[in-house]
Structure formats: structure tokens, C-alpha cells
Amino acid sequence: MNVTRIDVTSERRRYTVLIGADLLSTLPALLDEHKLSGSLLVVSCPPVWRLHGKRLKGLADDAPILIPDGERAKRLPTVSRIYEVMVERRLDRAASLVAFGGGVVGDVGGFAAATYLRGIRLIQIPTTLLAQVDSAIGGKVGVNLRAGKNLVGAFHPPSLVLCDPAVLRTLPRREFRAGLYEVVKYGVIRSRPIFDRLQSSLPAIFAHDPQVLTPIIAECCQIKADVVSADERESGPRRVLNFGHTIGHALEAVTKYRRFRHGEAIGYGMLAAAHISVARGSLSRDDESALKALITQMGPLPVVGDLSIREALDAISLDKKVIRGRLHFVLAKGLGDTVIVDDVTTRELRAAMRAVGLRS
């Protein structure tokens, strides 16, 4: 078995990310190796548990906590339910929570782990492409409020992250595609070679060719690890990971997390950020066209023509990237480089959202 190992440095601990096909077949041994055996609580969701629960069979003595699937479950009442089970099972600080699912399971389970008894160990086993390349690494955990996404949360680095590309074969095409938009993000912010490989290898990627897909996942994980090791709490360099997220999060909020997969909203957010980048002269029209073509080639995005720019601007005003009244916004400088600015105007945001199809 070929396994890629990436070490991530955080303020609290150094932890390992492992990437490899059929990695979960050796799960008990991996937990023993990393001294994570013992009292375990598994948090998952019904679709993932139905398809892959047997991979974790015998890992924990008790049944898993299954939370609803989807972004609407990412809220405080869901976390409270996990707390109640933790208390019922008398989990102590030596216990570990295993988040086995996509980004929502990882964020909700991670937030429960971060806050129960002021913090217990967390093991991330992401089962979506988006979670494997992005959300499972870096220690950001949290939930949404009605006003906006991830407004309540914590930094709680996991003790171990296990990415098994084999589980991605059961993802619906739309869910898999949603993860690819985050891969595009990595290409834009740090790696033109990843962007170019996406352009040339989409059929093989959608076919889950391990020779193509696994190295891309590993490279994205390495980029994320490098960024968060340098700036765990997003005080500066880590902000590059928010490329496309400001307007993307606004689209999720104004549709009450019902219309978009997270990656789809980020797809629109990247197009809008590219529009502002071109208008400011930091990105060429050729590179913007390449980004548009790649996103279009991946498949259709949900419609946005009925969404109000004004409502989206209201959501942006509550974004956690607004600091002391100034919005920190990531612009592209070519494909593979970015610049962070704090002077994007409402007029520019409005023009960018109009360009991607929102109504005035």
C-alpha cells in the first residue's frame, strides 16, 4: 500500500495526515501506532454509515451518533445532541471523537470535541473529496448561525487525519464535483501545475483513477498543511485559503444552505473574485477565461439569477473576514499566486456578483 504522510504543525500539537487507497483497511493498527486506541465515540451521518460503516466495525464499543446529512445540520442543536450522548456514555478527557463523514460531520463533530470537557482528542476520517483536500486539515471546527456561516467555532487541531480515496467512489457525481472546485482553488492560489492537470485529466479524475486522483489529493493536503503550519489562526497567510469564499459563503447564507453544495458556492465565489482581479489588473483575461472554462467543463452550477445582490452584500457584512470594519479579500495574481487586500468596495462586489449572474 502506497501511503503519503504529511506532518502538520499547530500550536497545541504536531499531527499526521495519511493519504492512501484502502487506508481504512488497516484502521485499528493505525490508531494503535498513533496511540489513539481506547474510548472512542464515532460521529457520522446515515448515508456514510450505510455505505462505509462496516469499515469501522468493532472500532468502538457503542453505536455511532448519526447526525443529519447536509449544511442545515451544522448548528448548535446538533452539537448539543452529541454532548448529551457524551455525558450518557461518561466520556472523559482520555476519549477520542472520530468524525467519519464529509465537511459537516467534521466541523460539527470537531466542534463537539473542541468544547466537551474543554477539549478531547479528534480523529478526522473525511469521506468526501472536499473534506479530504480541505476541511479535515487545519483545525477549524464550528457551526453556522442563521446570520452566516461558521460564525461560532474554534481552532482544535486533530490528532490524526486519514484520507482514503477509495471511499470517494460512492460519492454522487455532484458531490464529487463540489470537491473539485476546492481543488481548483488550490491550483489558483498556489499551484499552476494542479490547475493544468485538472484541465488535462478531468475524465480520469471523474473515473477515480487512483494514479491521477490520489497524487492530486496529496498535493492539496500538502499545500493546506504548509499554509496552516505557518499561520494556524488565520492572522495573515492562511487567508489565501479563502479565495472564492467571501461571496461563496454569502450565496450559501442567502439561500439558507439549501441550494448549493459548499464547493458549488465557492465556484461562483472564485469567478466573482477573478472578475475583481481582472478589473484591478492583477489577473489576465486569458487566465480568467481558463478558470471559467475549467469550472464550466466540470458541470453545471445551480442557478443564481433569482438571488439578490443586496441580500448577498448584507451577508458579506457579517462575514468573519471583516475585521475592524474592513473586509479582507483574496484576489488572484495569475494562476498560482494571490494577493490579500482590504479595500474591495461595495461597488466592486456588486459588479462581480452581477457578472456571475445575480440580480441587482
Active-site residue (options: 52, 55, 140, 197) = 140
CA distance 67 to 45: 5
For position 237, what pLDDT does the model report? 86
| CATH at 101 | 3.40.50.1970
For position 318, what pLDDT does the model report? 86
Active-site residue (options: 234, 264, 275, 328) = 234
Note if 262 is an active site residue: yes
Note if 258 is an active site residue: no
Active-site residue (options: 74, 156, 245, 261) = 245
Number of folded domains that form the chain: 2
Domain co-membership, 211 together with 332: yes
The DSSP secondary structure of 131-149, one letter per residue, reads IIIIITSS-EEEEEETTEE
Domain co-membership, 162 together with 304: no
Residue spans of alpha helices (H) in the chain: 27-33, 46-52, 76-88, 103-115, 129-130, 173-189, 192-206, 210-230, 245-254, 262-280, 285-298, 309-317, 346-355
Domain co-membership, 236 together with 164: no
Domain around 304:
173-355
Domain co-membership, 131 together with 194: no
| pLDDT tens by residue, 277-317 | 999 999 999 999 999 999 999 999 999 999 999 999 999 99
Note if 182 is an active site residue: yes
Domain co-membership, 142 together with 228: no
> For residue 294, is it within any domain?
yes
Domain co-membership, 304 together with 182: yes
Below-70 pLDDT ranges, the chain:
1, 320
Active-site residue (options: 71, 74, 150, 182) = 182
For position 13, what pLDDT does the model report? 85
Centre a 10 Å sphere on the Cβ of residue 351 and count the other Cβ atoms it contains.
Answer: 15
For position 273, what pLDDT does the model report? 98
| CATH at 298 | 1.20.1090.10
> For residue 132, is it within any domain?
yes
Domain co-membership, 241 together with 110: no
Note if 245 is an active site residue: yes
For position 1, what pLDDT does the model report? 66
Cα Rg of the chain, angstroms: 20
Note if 224 is an active site residue: yes
Domain co-membership, 21 together with 165: yes
Domain end point (choices 146, 169, 192) = 169
Domain co-membership, 98 together with 185: no
Active-site residue (options: 238, 239, 275, 328) = 238
Q: Structure pTM?
A: 0.95
87 CB contacts (<8 Å, ≥6 apart)? none
Note if 34 is an active site residue: no
> For residue 327, is it within any domain?
yes
For position 148, what pLDDT does the model report? 82
For position 218, what pLDDT does the model report? 97
Domain end point (choices 169, 200, 223) = 169
DSSP state of 155: E
> For residue 285, is it within any domain?
yes
> For residue 360, is it within any domain?
no
Active-site residue (options: 11, 57, 90, 118) = 118
Active-site residue (options: 177, 242, 264, 275) = 242
Active-site residue (options: 52, 190, 262, 328) = 262
Distance (Å) of CA 16 to CA 11, 56, 228: 14, 20, 13
Domain co-membership, 241 together with 206: yes
For position 53, what pLDDT does the model report? 96
Distance (Å) of CA 173 to CA 46, 164, 298, 299: 18, 18, 10, 10
> For residue 162, is it within any domain?
yes
